Amino acid sequence: MINILLVDDHELVRTGVNKILNEVKGFKVIDECETGEDAVKFCRMTEPDVILMDMDMPGMGGLEATKKILRLAPEVKVIILTAHTEDPFPTKVMKIGAAGYLTKGAGPNEMINAIRAVNSGQRYLPPAIAQQMALSQFKTKDENPFSELSDRELQIMLMITRGEKVPDISEHLHLSPKTINSYRYRMFDKLNVGNDVELTHLAIRHGMINTEKL
């Protein structure tokens, strides 16, 4: 039996995934969490076999939660579930020790295969993303400046480019506005941009955001 923990801040997503997985022989969803903090707390008490972890959540987020969980329980296999398909997201996810990377556009069969693969000790990447990661090794900093950002900076960058303001980001991430602005200006310096508009234009140019949703 593969014991699975679902971590996503959207109840509808958790409900749908739960229904799919509990119908698979040999799978059991043992619990659901809506934040990274709750997932870390759960793993202090119980060790699942596989965690399906949303990357974009309020608070610490999926990347930070994954780091903390793997320090607590190195044997747990974490699959990051996200809408982001462009590097450096997949590369950062695999570098922190996640066992798999799955996009939210994946079908039920791919999700089931990914869970089985990581539980057996393999790593799982969709073929298109694996190819993209291989090619990204030949890119220079100028070609992909976002690779210089930290996990938290990437998270805040995505929120800014969605049009969210500092007070809203502060509330969402449970950080002070001063801290958010510190990350923001550090990003500006790393990316050589002067404001949020320039940041958004740069992100579009490098395929970091879906322009259809802007």
pLDDT digits (tens, 9 = 90+) for 43-101: 999 999 999 999 888 777 888 899 999 999 999 999 999 887 777 788 888 888 999 99
What are the angstrom distances between the C-alpha of 134 and each of 60, 65, 90, 105, 173? 29, 26, 11, 21, 32
| 113 and 153 part of one domain | no
| 103 and 161 part of one domain | no
Domain encompassing residue 177: 145-213
Tokens 């958004």, residue located: 200
Q: Is the pLDDT of residue 173 over 70?
A: yes
CATH of the domain at 187: 1.10.10.10
Separation between Cα atoms, residue 6 and residue 17, nearest integer Å? 8
CATH of the domain at 120: 3.40.50.2300
Choose one of 136, 168, 190: the last residue of a domain.
136
Q: pTM here?
A: 0.76
| 71 and 122 part of one domain | yes
| 73 and 169 part of one domain | no
